[in-house]
Amino acid sequence: MVNENNITLIVPEEYAGTRIDIFIYNALEEELSRSFIQKLLKHNHITIHGMPVKPNYKVKADQQILIIIPQPEKTTLQPQDIPLNILYEDDDIAVIHKPAGMVVHPGAGNTTHTLVNALLYHFKGLSSIGGVERPGIVHRLDKDTEGLMVIAKNDSAHNLLAKEFQSRNVVKKYEAIVTGKPSTPTDIINRAIDRHPQYGHKMTVRDDGREAITHYTLKEVWHTQQGVFSRLHIRILTGRTHQIRVHLSSLGLPIVGDKLYSKKWEKYNVPYMLLASTYLEFAHPSTGQHLQFSIDLPQHMEDFIKKLNTMAFEHIKAE
């Protein structure tokens, strides 16, 4: 749970025996960089039950970790010449293809090599509504999720796009490879989501949470000696934090490579989580023109599919 300059984490059972720096990095995903976590440990800003620990300390289940974030030094975000795949650009917006592994916006100890640093270099103007650390950012993708994002280049475009997202007029489609097979070939998951009551760095399905709606369609199934895998085509009607990951995990269908919601994420040795935002459709904020963008599956997902095709003793494609 993040509270002002303190972060409290409780160790889930599946992370018992993991080095503390690795656990914190995985648990918080993009909030803290690995080097910043090491620095905090070195200066005793990370404690377990009030006692500082070394970077190689291995955590135990249900331990409470307190992370004290020092007051940040005043820094100005710097443009960085990071390659950016720009699919569309005009005076109001840009549509980009974010690579897997790239953090969208800066966090504590993580002020460089983010998408925002790249945006500042490639575009002269960006909206300011998201604050100084999130110029141009109307919506986000998780660090490991590759795919399409629309960027606002001025505040007017930002406001209009934000309303489109809130009104559910933006069409967002994803592809995912999960372990297991869904009980029905297509379904709508309508389960509210909120913070996990014990593990505050995770989201979970909760009756008292915020409405979250995910529609999936089964595209392929592979039966292998290592288990059953499915490829799903997904459309989300709401945009909650970790929505697809939480919904699929709640059905017993965790995404391959998901560090937070799959207990066996290391087993499959994938460089990034196998989830991608492959289709984006919306009305242009100034002209009203209907815009559609799509991308192919990322290479790391294609590579895993090739591997499954080789391993499978039964491969079923949906009609």
In terms of Cα–Cα distance, which of 113, 118, 253, 63 is closest to 177? Answer: 253
Please name the residue that has the structure tokens 């709508």. 188
Which residues of the chain are in CATH 3.10.290.10 domains?
A: 2-68
Strands 93-98 and 146-152: antiparallel
The pTM of this model reads 0.87
Q: For 85-166, CATH number?
A: 3.30.2350.10
> What is the b/e burial string over 122-132, where b = at least 16 CB atoms within 10 angstroms of the residue's CB?
bbeebbebbee
* DSSP, residue by residue, the chain: -EETTEEEEE--GGGTTSBHHHHHHHHHTTSS-HHHHHHHHHTT-EEETTEE--TTPBP-TT-EEEEEPPPPP-----------EEEEE-SSEEEEEEPTT--SS-BTTB-SSSHHHHHHHH-S----TT-TTSTTBSS---TT-EEEEEEESSHHHHHHHHHHHHTT-SEEEEEEEEES--SSSEEEEE--EEE-SS-TTSEEE-TTSB--EEEEEEEEEEEETTEEEEEEEEEESS--TTHHHHHHHHTT-PBTT-TTT-TTGGGG--SS-SEEEEEEEEE-TTT--EEEEE-PPPHHHHHHHHHHHHH-SEEEE--
Mean pLDDT over 246-251 rounds to 97
Percent with pLDDT over 90 in the chain = 74
241 contacts: CB under 8 Å, gap ≥ 6: 193, 203
Mean pLDDT over 145-171 rounds to 95
Q: What would the two tokens of residue 82 be?
A: 């990071």
Active site residue ranges: 142
Mean pLDDT over 122-126 rounds to 93
Mean pLDDT is lowest, of 20-24, 102-106, 214-218, for: 102-106
Q: What is the topology classification, in CATH, of domain 2-68? A: 3.10.290
Confidence label for 2 from pLDDT (cuts 50, 70 and 90): very low
Q: What is the topology classification, in CATH, of domain 171-317? A: Pseudouridine synthase (3.30.2350)
Are 256 and 178 in contact, with CB atoms under 8 Å apart? yes
82 pLDDT above the threshold of 90: yes
Which residues of the chain are in CATH 3.30.2350.10 domains?
A: 85-166, 171-317
